[in-house]
Amino acid sequence: MAGEHYPHVFGASELARLRELVDLRPELIEGEQFETQAQDYADTELLVGGWEMPQLTAGLVARLPKLRAVFYAAGTIKGIVTDSSWERGIRITTAALENAKPTAEFAFAQIILSLKRGWQRMFLMREKRQFLQRDSLVVGTNGSTVGLLALGKIGRLVAMRLRTLDVSVIAYDPFIAPAEAARLGVRVCGLEELFATADVVSCHLPSTEQTQRLLGRALFASLKRGATFINTARGSVVNEPELVAVLRERPDLFAALDVTDREPPPPDDPLFELNNVLLTPHIAGSTALECRRMGRMMVEEVDRYLAGKPLLGEVFQQQLSTMA
């Protein structure tokens, strides 16, 4: 993994436990170094990786003939696994379960602020010194409706947190089992109904072929007066020019975007010009000491692997088409 991330992900206690389980050598290999010197690690059986880990190409896999499993201390593995790694039967487990936690916390905080139109009123105080204590568009956290786009790892955590509020929760997820939705206290509905009904729409869609530019003008234009759209998922699921057009036409709407189609967005991106947009620089996921949970989970996964137990974060090839 990249050296800059290493101390955030693995602390002294995580490394001490890992050394008890395996022969750890060397302690850190930078991604580029690993690609060019993979033959030096030909006896490697288990690989612990993280952000900026190189892809398991056919050439790299061939130079690691004993590799049996990868423990990825981060989220999505789509940029790492290949047909070659699957064909070799290399197992892979990820810390996406732990990385989902701060993202869900961030989305939950944004939902509460959105239901009280907090950002809009903060902007007014800062830019116009306007003390807008009463806002007719505020719905609050009692009796309002929150819509969740997808109930994957993050969406489910958000749904669980929303149970602490007195809100109705609806969701769009064509893959969720009815019993699971009921357990989460969520009513499943179609995209059109969700956008037209929710006071806040929080996006947790994975980036797949089916979701590219899925959210466009018709859906955004159907939002209720004063509604907010939150995206902590992937910018590619939004047709940004169409979102911008609707936001220009509907100043009553608001968008809180932690992700954009281009990252970072260029200086002339029209999103910067809109008063009803909040942009944050992709900070919802794990950062600083939050990353330590991912490292800890991967050490625990190594322990489970060596004991012959099921891996909690293991990903299988057939799951990739519906995952982030």
142 SS3 class: strand
Residues 57 and 81 sit within 8 Å (Cβ to Cβ): no
Q: For the whole prediction, is pTM greater than 0.85?
A: yes
Neighbouring C-alpha atoms within 13 Å toward the C-beta of 46:
19
Cα-Cα-Cα-Cα dihedral sign, residues 94, 95, 97, 99:
negative
| N- to C-terminal Cα separation, the chain | 20
The secondary structure of residue 322, as a DSSP letter, is G
Q: What is the pLDDT of residue 298?
A: 98
- Spatial distance between the Cα atoms of 151 and 159, rounded to a whole number of angstroms: 8
Rounded Cα distance between 153 and 86, Å, is 23
- What pLDDT is attached to residue 40? 86
Distance, in Å, from the CA atom of 8 to the CA atom of 11, rounded to the nearest integer, reads 7
Distance from C-alpha of 258 to C-alpha of 233, rounded to nearest angstrom: 8
Distance (Å, whole) CA 135 – CA 211: 35
Residue type, 221: A
pLDDT for res 93: 98
pLDDT at position 323: 77
| Residue positions annotated with a catalytic role | 234, 263, 282
pLDDT by residue for the chain (324 residues), tens digit each?
889 999 999 999 999 999 999 999 878 888 778 888 888 889 999 999 999 999 999 999 999 999 999 999 999 999 999 999 999 999 999 999 999 999 999 999 999 999 999 999 998 888 888 787 788 889 999 999 999 999 999 999 999 999 999 999 999 999 999 999 999 999 999 999 999 999 999 999 999 999 999 999 999 999 999 999 999 999 999 999 999 999 999 999 999 999 999 999 999 999 999 999 999 999 999 999 999 999 999 999 999 999 999 999 999 999 887 777
State how far the Cα of 83 lies from the Cα of 43, in Å rounded to an integer.
Answer: 22
Q: Kindly report the three-state secondary structure assignment for every residue of 87-117.
A: HCCCEEEECHHHHHHHHHHHHHHHHHHHHCC
Domains recognised in the chain with CATH numbers: 6-94+288-322 (3.40.50.720), 100-279 (3.40.50.720)
* Distance between CA atoms of residues 186 and 196, nearest Å: 17
Exposed e or buried b per residue across 81-112, where buried means at least 16 C-beta atoms within 10 angstroms of its C-beta: bbebbbebebbbbbbbbbbbbbbbbbbbebbb
Query: 196: part of which helix (H) or strand (E)?
Result: helix 191-197
